[in-house]
């Protein structure tokens, strides 16, 4: 049987994607206050060097950007720039 390798996804990649999407869905239902509390929790986890930290941070910043785009394009662009700088430093 011939399989196309481009159409295959590793189980680890699938799990990571599923986890990231679930966390993003969770963030969308939070109030702004709860979103801020979640951000504080992530910052506390930074001290513990949590392995899921990067994906959670990316999801939180995406949610902040999404919410800020409705209020202020300038603030949303600032958050996007900040996120890009973080990602550049981590890679």
Across residues 33-58, what is the average pLDDT?
Answer: 79
The whole-number pLDDT of residue 62 equals 84
Taking the C-alpha atoms of residue 51 and residue 53, their distance in angstroms, rounded to an integer, is 5
Do residues 60 and 27 make contact, with C-beta atoms less than 8 angstroms apart? yes
Residue at 47 is within a domain: yes
What is the C-alpha separation between 37 and 22, in angstroms, rounded? 18
Nearest-angstrom CA–CA distance, 48 and 35: 20
pLDDT of residue 1: 46
Domain that holds residue 32: 11-90
On whether residue 60 sits in a domain, the answer given is: yes
Distance in angstroms (rounded) separating the CA atoms of residues 18 and 85: 25
Q: Is residue 78 part of a domain?
A: yes
pLDDT above 90 as % of the chain: 2
Whether the pLDDT of residue 68 is over 80: the answer is yes
Q: Is residue 4 part of a domain?
A: no
User: Could you give the 3-state DSSP secondary structure of residue 71?
Assistant: helix
């Amino acid at each position: 049987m011939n399989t196309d390798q481009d159409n295959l996804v590793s189980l680890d990649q699938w799990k990571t994607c599923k986890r990231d999407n679930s966390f993003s869905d969770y963030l969308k239902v939070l109030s702004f206050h709860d979103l801020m509390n979640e951000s504080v929790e992530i910052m506390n986890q930074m001290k513990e060097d949590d392995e899921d930290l990067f994906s959670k941070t990316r999801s939180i910043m995406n949610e902040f950007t999404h919410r800020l785009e409705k209020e202020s394009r300038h603030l949303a662009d600032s958050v996007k720039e900040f996120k890009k700088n973080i990602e550049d430093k981590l890679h």
